[in-house]
Amino acid sequence: MGKKARTAITPTREENFPEWYQQVIKAADMAENSPVRGCMIIKPYGFAVWENMQNIFDPWLKDYGVQNASFPLLIPLSFLEKEAEHIDGFAKECAVVTHHRLEGSENGLVPAGKLEEPYVIRPTSETIIGDAMSRWVQSYRDLPLKLNQWGNVMRWEMRTRMFLRTSEFFWHEGHNAFETPDDAKKDCLTILDMYEKFFHEYLAFTGYKGIKTPEERFPGAKETYAFESIMQDGKALQAATTHDLGQTFSKSCGIKFQTRTGVEEHAYTTSWAFSTRAIGGMIMIHGDDDGMMMPPRIAPQQIVILPVVKNPEEDGEIVAFAEKIVADLKSKGMRAMVDKRDMRTPDKMWDAIKKGIPLRVEIGGRELENKEVTVVRRDIGRESKQTLSVSEFVKQAQGLLDQVHDFMLNRSKTFRDEHTFDGTSLSDISDFFAKDNVGLVKVPVTLLEDDKLEAIMKEYSLSTRCMPFEDGGEKVLIGKAY
């Protein structure tokens, strides 16, 4: 046997995928666990990804007519109690505020000033936004009302994993109200298409759009639509959802309007979101055993230039040469930087690899003399190494970034297709997962009515992911999930 290749991340994906995932986040300096149970600290490099996601998607929402607003973090318990199915769905995850001050005692600080009514730290905001909508909507002329907020929520998770499942996480949540049920359904599908476009064009990963089965529906929803992706370990990740809430929340919150014929009717509402969980999906879809692999269009830094200095007297000249190239790249709209840290060049190189920076550029004495750069793509590695004149590199850099994006997206599509398996019977499901195969099984939706399915799902810790649109609702994806 040959000697095992050295990797930057240990363990490798094959050895221990969950631990590999945690180590990639650590090596890329994206996040760390916090002193608060189940919560994470998103470090600057990780938060820059989230900021880029906001900066891209928020204008799309505004073009669609959505207005940003901000609603309270604390929700009165009575608001949640108005919608029984909704609160039942979140009851075990709610963090509750019961006091409004602290007082000193011989045992230290203790809660005091008990609240007349407890507050729940929002797990989601349908009820409190619905309360506002009940005041803001009076007539059909007030509709549609399209609202969104970027913020954080709290769901008291028992088993947490950074980005994927934490007690506190960041997201955007849209809440819209419409005149008709058709308008509400159209809204859900329009936003779902926007999510697919966003994931394809910026995060470079694909998945399946479809309808959630009744047991996987959002609490209180008439229908839930989802974008489901497959990670490298074969598990599914729900990357985004939209919910057709019908009149469930408009009736519990009192969102009524005078119709065009003069009668009073409850509005039809929707809600939808993606969260920092999408960053976790991006890591698990694209990362390799050397670390993160950033999709170029979302990467905090798309290009890093590493000065390779052998003689101290060359240092200033090489850095100045590199900074001029960075300025040219920035003038063309690219995010680029010179790594001027006082570190060994190999250490800088591995740092760039572990952070997944799409293009790594090396400039040493030879490149300086010949007015050239040496370029390496992160997605392919050393095999992509090439030397270009500065003018050619600046001219081709955006094209190279686009090539990286296309390569990553196509690889994601190929992986999805190669790890989705068709079945026709319950035995196809049990046989597939009994062998610890990697991927999802797609079977006729009629199998959901078979009483024996529940036992198989429980035995192998499976769940229904969605009924893909591409199959006309006649098949359902089943697999393990995050």
pLDDT of residue 83: 83
Q: What is the pLDDT of residues 251-285, one digit of tens each?
A: 999 999 999 999 999 999 999 999 999 999 999 99
Q: Residue 127: is its pLDDT beyond 90?
A: yes
| CA–CA distance, 161 with 149 (Å, rounded to integer) | 24
pLDDT of residue 4: 63
* Burial grade of 17 (CB within 10 A; 0-12, 13-18, 19 or more): middle
- Of 340, 389, 381, give the one whose Cα is nearest residue 357: 381
Average pLDDT value for residue range 414-420: 98
CATH architecture of 17-286: 2-Layer Sandwich (3.30)
**pLDDT above 90 covers what percent of the chain?**
93
In DSSP notation, 191-222 reads HHHHHHHHIIIII----EEEEPPGGGSPTT-S
pLDDT of residue 3: 57
pLDDT of residue 157: 87
Q: Residue 464: is its pLDDT beyond 50?
A: yes
Average pLDDT value for residue range 362-385: 96
Measured CA to CA in angstroms, residue 58 lies from 51, 64, 175, 201, 260 at distances of 10, 10, 14, 15, 32
Lowest mean pLDDT among 75-84, 176-185, 322-331, 350-359: 75-84
Q: Residue 1: is its pLDDT beyond 70?
A: no
- Of 200, 178, 197, give the one whose Cα is nearest residue 187: 178
Average pLDDT value for residue range 200-220: 97
Reduced to 3 states (helix: H, G, I; strand: E, B; else coil), residue 286 is helix
Strands across the sheet with 381-389, in order? 336-338, 303-307, 359-363, 372-377, 381-389
Confidence band of 310 (pLDDT split at 50, 70, 90): confident
For domain 303-416, the CATH superfamily is Anticodon-binding domain (3.40.50.800)
| CA–CA distance, 302 with 306 (Å, rounded to integer) | 13
Class of domain 420-479: alpha beta
Domain boundaries of the chain, sorted by first residue: 17-286, 303-416, 420-479
| CA–CA distance, 148 with 66 (Å, rounded to integer) | 7
* Average pLDDT over all residues of the chain: 96
- Of 360, 343, 235, 232, give the one whose Cα is nearest residue 294: 360
pLDDT of residue 86: 84
Q: Residue 158: is its pLDDT beyond 90?
A: no
